Amino acid sequence: MPGKTGGTALVTGASAGIGLEVATVLAERGFDLALVARREEALSALAGRLAAAHDCRVAVYPRDLLEDGAPEELAATLARDGIEIDWLVNNAGVTDVGSFHELPLDRQLMLIRLNVNVLTELTHRFVGGMVDRGHGRILNVASLSSFQPVPSLAVYAASKAFVLSFSESLSEELRGTGVHVTALCPGLTRTDMVEQAKHADGPLRMAPDFLIGDTRDVAAQGVEACLAGRVVVVPGALNRLQASSVGLYPRWLVRTLGGFMSRRG
C-alpha cells in the first residue's frame, strides 16, 4: 500500500468478512482503529495481529449494535476514551433469504434496524465532529442489490437501496466541508453471510463461484475509492456492467427477470 495516512477509523462488523479486511487495509495505511462487533474473542485476536504487524493502536469495543441505545453508548464511550473518529466504516449488516411472507417478521425488522437505523444513527453521531474539524471519510457498505429489486432478498435489497441513496445525498450535502462519503456496492463476496445464503432457498443458490468476489479486493477498492473522494464504487467489471445497465431497461423487465431468477433458485 502506498503511503501512510493516519487518523482513527471506526469499523463496525469488524470481526469477519469485508469489515475485517477493511480494518486490515486501513491499518496498512497507517490508521489507528476502533473495532466493533459482537464477537469479543475474534475482535481481540484481530486487534493483536494488526497492532503487531502495523504498529498501530487498536481499541476493541465488543457491542451488539441492535441493543437499545448501543450506538449512543458507543459514541459516548469513544468520547470518554478521548478517541476522535476520522473515518467511519458502516459495515455491520445482515441478510435474510426467502419469501417475505414466510420469513419471521422480527428477523425482517431486525435487518432494517441494523442495515438502516444503526447506520443512520452512527453517521449522525460522528459526521458533525468531522465537519467541525474540516476533514473526514464515511464508507458505507451497500451492495450491488442497491441498484435493483431482488425477489427473495426483498427487505435486504431495499435496505441497501437506502444506503446507496443516503450516501449519495449526504455526499452532496457535505460538498466543500472536507468530509467525503462513499458507498461501496460489492456483488457477491466470499463472506460467511453469502456462504449461508447460498445454502438457502433463493437466487443465490445458482451463483457460480467465479461470480463471487474476493473479500480483500473488495475492501481495498472501497478504501481507495473513499480516499479518492469517489461517491460510488462497484468492484468487479461484471458487477459494474450490471449496475450501469439496470437503468437502461424498463423497471417491469428488471423486476420480472429478478423474479424469474428467484424462482429458478
The residues annotated with a catalytic role in the active site are 156
All cell numbers assigned to 50: 494488526
Strand order in the sheet with 136-141: 58-62, 32-37, 8-12, 87-90, 136-141, 179-184, 232-233
Alpha-carbon Rg of the chain, whole angstroms?
18
- Cβ-in-10-Å burial (0-12, 13-18, 19+) of 151 comes to buried
Give the three-state DSSP class for 37: strand
Measured CA to CA, the distance from residue 11 to residue 34 in angstroms comes to 6
Measured CA to CA, the distance from residue 157 to residue 81 in angstroms comes to 36
Measured CA to CA, the distance from residue 20 to residue 91 in angstroms comes to 10
Continuous H helices in the chain: 17-28, 40-54, 70-80, 105-112, 119-133, 154-173, 192-198, 215-228, 237-245, 251-264
HSE-CB of 133 using CA atoms within 13 angstroms: 15
